[in-house]
Amino acid sequence: MTARVEYKGDLRTECIHLLSKNGIITDAPPDNQGKGEFFSPTDLTATSLGACILTTLAIFGKKENRKWDFTGTTVKVAKVMYNNPRRIGEIYLDIQFPENTWTAADQTVIERVGRTCPVRYSLHPDIKIIETYLFDQPEFKPMTPNNE
């Protein structure tokens, strides 16, 4: 087993990672009868995509001895919920690299590898994934809906 999830009442769960014993709490979002004090399960899904992209890039760079350092790289994540049925319809990811030390060839490889993360392949193909790789912008300029 990977995790144990316990319903705590009031639309909240506690999730324990069995190997590390680390935990997270989820809440239903305010637009779905919840408090929104913690990540919602759909927030975690969208956020997992961002974490997976960075992890996949770091693994590739290490495995290929590229000497790429992704420390400080950030992903801003936004999701759009659809209805009937309620589901994630769109995920926006702005991937910001801290320094522009990447050649054009590096950038091409990074974008290609970033699109191969296992979470992406696990999501339903109807979910629109819009990702922007920001290599040369000094400030984080999000391209997400409503500049969230």
- In this structure, are 63 and 119 located in the same domain? yes
49 and 110 share one domain: yes
Q: Are strands 74-82 and 128-134 parallel, antiparallel or unpaired?
A: unpaired
Residue 16 sits in the same domain as residue 53? no
In angstroms, the CA 72 to CA 49 distance is 17
Is the separation of the CB atoms in 15 and 5 below 8 Å?
yes
Domain match, 103 and 122 both:
yes
53, 73 in Cβ contact below 8 A? no
- 135 in the same domain as 65: yes
Per the omega criterion (within 30 degrees of 0), is the bond before 125 cis? no
Which range of residues forms the domain containing residue 85?
A: 41-147
Is 122 found in the same domain as 52?
A: yes
SS3 64: coil
Mean pLDDT across 60-77: 89
Q: Which two tokens stand for residue 81?
A: 């919920």
Highest mean pLDDT among 29-33, 43-47, 64-68: 43-47
Summarised one tens digit per residue, pLDDT across range 89-145 is 999 999 999 877 789 999 999 999 999 999 999 999 999 999 999 997 655 555 555
Same domain for 105 and 86? yes
Largest CA distance in the chain: 51
Residues 15 and 84 in one domain: no
Residues 6+ apart with CB under 8 A from 135: 97, 100, 102, 107
